[in-house]
Structure 1
Amino acid sequence: MCGRYAAGRGPEDLVELFGIEKWEPEETLAPDWNVAPTKEVHVVLDRPVKDAADPRPVRQLRVLKWGLVPSWAKSPEGAARMINARSETVAEKPSFKRPFAQRRCIIPADGYYEWVTAHDERQLEVEGKRKRARKQPYFVLPADGSVFAMAGIYEFWRDRTLPDEHPMAWWVTCSVITTEAETGPLAVAPAEGPGSLSEIHPRMPLMLTPDKWDPWLDPARTDPDELGHLLAPPAGALMRAYPVSTAVSNVRNNGAELLTELAAPEEATLF
C-alpha cells in the first residue's frame, strides 16, 4: 500500500516538469516530507477550465485532499480508508470505476515510505524483557532522482448540508493507485536489508514513467482495456531503497532530514 510519502518539490518545479498551463500560486502547498492520509496534496490533471470559452482540457496543478470520497457517499467519513485503489480492480470497484474512466491524475512525489519488520526480531527477549519488533522505515525512490509520478484518480463530492456558495460545499479528493511490487533486484539496494521492492512490501504505488503521462491524463481515453495497458508496474531496476530514521513514523515530524539515508537499520527498542 501507500500510506506515507515525501513531496519536497515546489510548485515551480512541478510546473516545469509536467508542462503545467494553469495553477494558482495562492493555492500551492509548502514542501512536505511526511505526507499522510487526509492531507492536502498537489496533483496534476487535464481538465477544461471552468467557465472558459475553450472547452479543451488544460493541464493544471491543483490542490486536492488525499482520501477519495465517492460522489454518491452520504458523508466524507470513509475518506481515510480510500487512500489507495488497487490497479487490479480499479476499473470495477463502485468507488473507483467512474473516476478511473474519466478523472485520472498524477500525484507527484519524491518517493514513498514503507516499514519492514525484521524476521528475526518478532518474539525475542533480551535480559528478560520483550523486544519490540523493529519496524524499520525505508524510503523508496527512482534511482535517478527523478520525480515519482504516482498514478491517481480523483472525484468530486457535494456536501448537501451546506449552501452552494459555501467554500466547503464541494470536496475534490484523490486516491493513489497501487500495484504488485516488483520481485526483481533494485537498481540500488541497501547494504543491509531487502534487495527487491517485494521484500519491502508486496504492494507499491504505481509509478508512471514520462511516456505514460500524456495518455494517462488524457480525459478522452475512457476504454478500460486501453487504460489497462498503462497499469503495468515499473521495473525494480528503476528504483532504489534505503533505511531512514524511525522519526518518520510520527506524522508530527516533518523536514528534509527525514530523507537522510542511514548506513544501517536502527537498533530495536525494548519495552
Structure 2
Amino acid sequence: MCGRYTLTATPAEVAAMLDLDDLDGFPPRYNIAPTQPILIVLGGRDVRPEASREAREGRLVRWGFLPGWLKDPTSASLTFNARAETAAQKPSFRGAMRHRRCLVPASGFYEWRRGAGTSKSQPYFVRPRSGRPVAFAGIMETWHAADGSEIDTAAILTTKANATLAAIHARMPVTIAPAEVARWLDCRQFEPREIADLLAPAAEAVYEAFAVSDLVNSAAHMGPELQVPIEESADATGEGPEGPAQGSLF
C-alpha cells in the first residue's frame, strides 16, 4: 500500500519532469495523507508525431477515489490505493483506467514494516536514489453529488514490491519511468491492455529506504524531521499510520 507520501520538489522541478507548461507554486509537503488535496497531472501529449498536441494539466484533487456512480460517499470505505493487477477489471476503477489515467508527482513515500510476533510497526522513508522527483501511476474520477456539486478524486496504483522493498512491505506504488510518461497519459491511443507492461515494480536501483521516527504515523506532523534517519531498533515501534487526515472532505 501507499498510505503516506511526500512532495518536496519545487514546482519548477515537477514542471520540468512532466513537461508542464504552467504550474502554480506550492510549499514542500513531508507527510501527505489520504483525504488531503494532492497534485495530479492529466493530459495526453499524444505520442504520435502527426497528432495535435494537447497541454498537460496540473490539478488539485482529493486523495481518496470515489466512483462516479456512488450515491453516498460518507458510507464508502476510503480508497486511496488501487491494485494495478485488477484495476482495469474492477467496476469502480475500469472507466478511470480507460479514460482518466493520471500521474502523482512525489519525492518519496513511507512504508511500515511489522515486527515479527508484534502488531507494532517500524516506519521507513523510501526515496529515489537520484534525488529527483518521480511520478506514481494514478487514476482520477469526478464524483457528482445530487445537488450538482462535483469533487475530483484520485487513487495511486500499487503493485508487488521489488526485492529492495519486499522486506519492508509486500506492495509499492507503481512508478512510471520518464520515457513512459506520454504513453501512460495518452488515454486516447492506449487502452489499459496496451499499457499493462508499465504496471510493474520499479527497477531495484530506483529507490532506497531507511528507518525514520514514528512521528510520521500522525498526519499532524508535517516537517522535515520526519525524514531524518534513525537507528532501527530490534523490535518494531509505532502503531502504523493513523486514519484519514484532519479536515477530511467527508
Q: TM-score range by the shorter chain?
A: 0.7 to 0.9
The alignment status of 1:179 with 2:159, answered yes or no, reads: yes
Q: What SS does structure 2 have at the residue aligned with 1:254? A: coil
Residue among 62, 84, 87 paired with 1:87: 84
After TM superposition, list the pairs within 5 Å mapping 1:64-143 onto structure 2.
64-77=61-74, 81-119=78-116, 122=118, 134-143=120-129
**In structure 1, distance between residues paired with 2:131 and 2:22:** 26
**For structure 1, which segment, 105-114 or 260-269, has the greater mean C-alpha deviation from structure 2 after superposition?**
260-269
What's the counterpart of residue 239 of structure 1?
A: 207
Unaligned 5+ segments in structure 2 are 46-51, 239-250
Shift of 1:80: 5.5
Structure 2 residue 3 is the aligned partner of structure 1 residue 3: yes
CA distance in 2, matches of 1:231, 1:79: 26
Which piece of structure 1 moves more, 222-231 or 67-76?
Answer: 222-231
**Aligned residues of 2:215 and 2:226 also touching (Cα < 8 A):** yes
* Aligned-residue RMSD, C-alpha: 2.2
**For each residue in 1:46-88, what CA deviation from the matched residue of structure 2 results, as whole angstroms up to 9, or x when unmatched?**
069xxxxxx8531111111101111111132266621111011
Pairing of 1:1-271 with structure 2 (within 5 A) = 1-23=1-23, 25=24, 29-46=26-43, 57-77=54-74, 81-119=78-116, 122=118, 134-162=120-148, 169-183=149-163, 196-265=164-233
Bigger relative contact order, structure 1 or 2 (CA pairs below 8 A, ≥6 apart):
2
Letter in 2 for 1:240: E
Kept in 2, the 8 Å contact 1:22–1:58? The answer is no
Residue aligned with 1:82, SS: coil
Matched residues in 1 for 2:219 and 2:7: separation? 14
CA–CA distance in 2 between the matches of 1:268 and 1:217?
39
Q: 2:180, 2:128 → 1: CA distance?
A: 16
Identical-residue share of aligned pairs (%)? 37
- The alignment partner of 2:230 has SS state of coil
Q: Distance in 2 between matches of 1:103 and 1:234?
A: 22
Structure 2 length normalisation: TM-score?
0.85
What secondary structure is seen at the aligned counterpart in 1 of 2:56?
strand
Give the letter aligned to residue 170 of structure 1: E
SS in 1 for 2:73: coil
Residue 214 to residue 222, structure 1, CA distance change in 2 (3 Å)? closer
Judge conservation of contact 2:40–2:102 (CA < 8 Å) in 1. Answer: yes
May I ask how many residue pairs the two structures share in their alignment? 232
TM-score (ref. length: structure 1): 0.79
Larger radius of gyration: 1
Q: Tell me, what secondary structure is at the counterpart of 2:176?
A: coil
Tell me: CA distance 1:237–1:12, structure 2 relative to 1, closer, same or farther (3 Å).
closer
2:180 partner amino acid: K
> Is the CA contact 2:115–2:235 (under 8 Å) kept in the aligned structure 1?
no
Change in 2 beyond 3 A, CA 1:265/1:212: farther
